Amino acid sequence: MHEPSDPDPARAARIHDTLMRGQGFDFVEAATMRDWLAGTGPLDDWERFTASWDGLAPDAYLAMHGKHRRRRHAVFSLDGIGAEAPAIRRQPHQPHYQSLDYNPLQGDIERWFEPVEDAVADSHSLRTILRHCQMFFGALAPRVRRWRTEVHQFRIEARAGTPGQPTPEGLHRDGVDYVLVLLIDRRNIASGTTSIHALDGHEIGHFTLTRPFDAALVDDRRVYHGVTAVEALDPARPAHRDVLVVTLRADAPVT
């Protein structure tokens, strides 16, 4: 049974808001994150939502580097919190692009991934997650009128003798404003520790997402982040780490 982490979710939100403003990142334990999301909107289709990770397509771009990852991608437009009725709108399917400044492994190319399935994009669970990002990150930047928001479903696979690489580009920034990394599932794997580094390179924190709903919140303008490789505990069995990554970049700031 799920036990609430704090009898006052608003108090917990204020604490994490303060941490984000102060240090540029935060680790939110599963119970707290689930409370936040449940207080934002419905999660009644969570099992169907998480099951969709079994249908992710291979990342052909990363396979060229001998690494194993599955993913789907979608772009949304989120109104800022100053809108009278902040809306969430899915955008036409488009490539994911990062410059070499942010992704030395696969930068300066348009990468076309299989789209997030309509049933997933329209699910209560994803819409609740996006609404939470809209409100939480919007409170950190209330002058932003619209956010360009990318959604990535990732499955990192570890195989016998071949660790999985959650961040094959190494320690990096994504070239956005804010990032949410939400753990969906991890099976038969060890490690996968997230480290956070200041812009001068020194480490300022680390943690491991181990339970569904464990989450990392990152101010991408202020810190670097990376995740250590994951290895199969039992090489004879399938091993994977499933996460949802949501990035927000100001698309229409107030002038």
- Sequence spans of domains, the chain: 9-250
Give mean pLDDT, residues 39-48: 97
CA geometry: angle at 25 spanning 125 and 242, to 5°? 40
pLDDT of residue 27: 95
Confidence of residue 1 (pLDDT cuts 50, 70, 90): very low
Backbone angles phi, psi at 44, to 5 degrees: -70, -15
Write the CA distances from 55 to 65, 157, 230, 241, integer angstroms. 22, 14, 21, 14
pLDDT of residue 201: 92
- Give me the DSSP letters along 140-154: HSTTB-EEEEEEEEE
CB atoms near residue 233 (< 10 Å): 12
Write the CA distances from 182 to 19, 92, 235, integer angstroms. 18, 24, 25
Q: Which helix (H) or strand (E) holds 19?
A: helix 9-23
Q: What is the DSSP letter of 240?
A: E
pLDDT in tens, 88-100: 999 999 987 665 5
pLDDT of residue 65: 47
For the chain, percent of residues with pLDDT exceeding 70? 86
Confidence of residue 3 (pLDDT cuts 50, 70, 90): very low
Confidence of residue 11 (pLDDT cuts 50, 70, 90): low
Of 232 and 102, the one with more pLDDT? 232
- The whole-model pTM stands at 0.90
pLDDT in tens, 212-250: 999 999 999 999 999 999 999 999 999 999 999 999 999
Helix (H, G, I), strand (E, B) or coil at 83: coil
Q: What is the DSSP letter of 130?
A: H
Q: Which fold has domain 9-250?
A: Jelly Rolls (2.60.120)
Side-chain-side CA neighbours of residue 212 (13 Å) = 10
